[in-house]
Structure 1
Amino acid sequence: MPRSPNLTRADRIGYVVGGIALIVWALRRPSWSRALAASVGSWFLYQAYTGSNPMLKPLGIRVNREPAQPQLAETIVVEEAITISRPRAEVYAYFARPEHLPALADAEVDIARNVADQELAWRGLRGEKLAHFGSLSFRDAPGGRGTIVAAHLEYAPSGGSLGAALARVMGRSPQRLVADALRHARAILETGEAPSTSGQPSGLR
């Protein structure tokens, strides 16, 4: 089993159903074309067994089957980091405002942990349902170059791993949104001006 699976349980079930269907169809009336279909079906079954699709790896899709929040059965993991040329206390103070956290849209932010100048953690709620959870850690950059902000976000994808991959390709994935939020914060803190967002997708709080 690979260390970094990138298929959700729903994906794997779909791969099993699709793989078996292709193999059964191929065996009913053998031919070269159906032999190819059987090979594809076998490949689907292998991916379902390993829990990993190699075509998704370049997109950085990673599944956590045992998330820290038990309300979510499994999650897609997003990790981004950035260096901001400002003191750690100032960077922390900026993100301590809930509207500045890289939380996904349409979710109410509930601060779960707050360690001054070190860590912020939150949960994104839609009503009483947990939609995602995340954290930011802050540490001094080497050589007095400012502050390293590391973001960790986990969410339950509505379309499974394939839906997450499609969103990534279209530039509307949570990973893109988290990265944009960090770049926005760096621009504000370093220059006092927000970067242009014309033509870019929205979705962050």
Structure 2
Amino acid sequence: MASETSQDDAPKQAQRDDKDGELAIVGRSVTINRPRHELFAFWRDFSNLPQFMHAVEKIDVTGDRSSWTIKAPVGQHVTLETELVEVVENEVLGWQSVEGSEIKTKGRVTFEDAPADRGTVVSAEIGYEPPGGDLGRLFAKIFRAEPNIQARHELKRFKMLMEAGEIATGANHHANDGEH
């Protein structure tokens, strides 16, 4: 009988895409061949997240609050403020936007030991409600990829960073051709 385990880094069976109140929720999971406590510690320092989250330029952390600067088209930025709402050491991190943020968001990441000593299963559920008006249109441009695809790619980049120490890209860099 064929194994239910997929070679996909963010398998479809772990996907979740539904509504929680007014927030659209996107969920994905990935197995990373690293110990749970290492992955949790890396993610717990939100200032690390821009290393694999494509649209996030920087995150400034002050205690349990974070200020996220998100890249926008034409050199613009959107800022949102979040606070930690759930922390279970080496198991769960949960956050949500604070009152007055330009974007309403919440997220929850869980870390579980993978079967057969294969590392850690990292599951992320991210919810957001883009604002209306011009800011909403800007937000839609920033996150032009379908949310499930974007969540999948971010977890795959996290996996590459944690397992290989870098994120492989398929981009050709012609600007430096001929320079050695």
Q: TM-score range by the shorter chain?
A: 0.5 to 0.7
Residue in structure 2 matched with residue 49 of structure 1 by the alignment = none
Cα pair 2:34 2:163 within 8 Å, conserved: yes
- Whole-angstrom CA distance in 1 between matches of 2:23 and 2:159: 28
Report the TM-score, using the length of structure 1 for normalisation. 0.51
How do 1:120-135 and structure 2 match up within 5 A?
Answer: 120-125=93-98, 127-128=100-101, 131-135=104-108
Residue in structure 2 matched with residue 150 of structure 1 by the alignment = 123
Higher CA-based Rg: 1
Structure 2 residue matching 1:109: 3-state secondary structure:
strand
Counterpart AA for 2:118? R
* 1:31-72 deviation per Cα after TM superposition (whole angstroms, max 9, x unaligned): xxxxxxxxxxxxxxxxxxxxxxxxxxxxx89442xx3xxxxx
Give how far 1:174 is off.
Answer: 3.2
Q: Which has the higher strand share?
A: 2
CA 1:61/1:119 → structure 2, altered by over 3 Å: closer, same or farther?
A: closer
CA 1:61/1:118 → structure 2, altered by over 3 Å: closer, same or farther?
A: closer
Cα pair 1:137 1:149 within 8 Å, conserved: yes
Cα pair 1:61 1:76 within 8 Å, conserved: no
Residue identity over aligned pairs, in percent, reads: 29
What is the root-mean-square deviation of aligned Cα atoms in Å?
A: 3.2
Q: Which has the higher helix share?
A: 1
How do 1:1-205 and structure 2 match up within 5 A?
Answer: 62-64=17-19, 67=20, 73-101=21-49, 105=70, 106=78, 107-125=80-98, 127-128=100-101, 131-157=104-130, 172-196=145-169, 198=171
Structure 1 residue matching 2:34: 3-state secondary structure:
coil
Q: Which has the higher contact order (CA 8 A, sep 6+)?
A: 2
Cα pair 1:63 1:74 within 8 Å, conserved: no
Uncovered stretches (5+) of structure 2, i.e. residues with no partner? 1-14, 57-69, 71-77, 173-180
- Whole-angstrom CA distance in 2 between matches of 1:128 and 1:183: 28
Cα pair 1:140 1:148 within 8 Å, conserved: yes
- Whole-angstrom CA distance in 2 between matches of 1:189 and 1:120: 18
* 1:72-105 deviation per Cα after TM superposition (whole angstroms, max 9, x unaligned): x512120110000000001111111113446973
- Whole-angstrom CA distance in 2 between matches of 1:136 and 1:151: 4
Structure 1 residue matching 2:145: 3-state secondary structure:
coil
- Whole-angstrom CA distance in 2 between matches of 1:176 and 1:100: 21
Give how far 1:176 is off.
Answer: 2.9
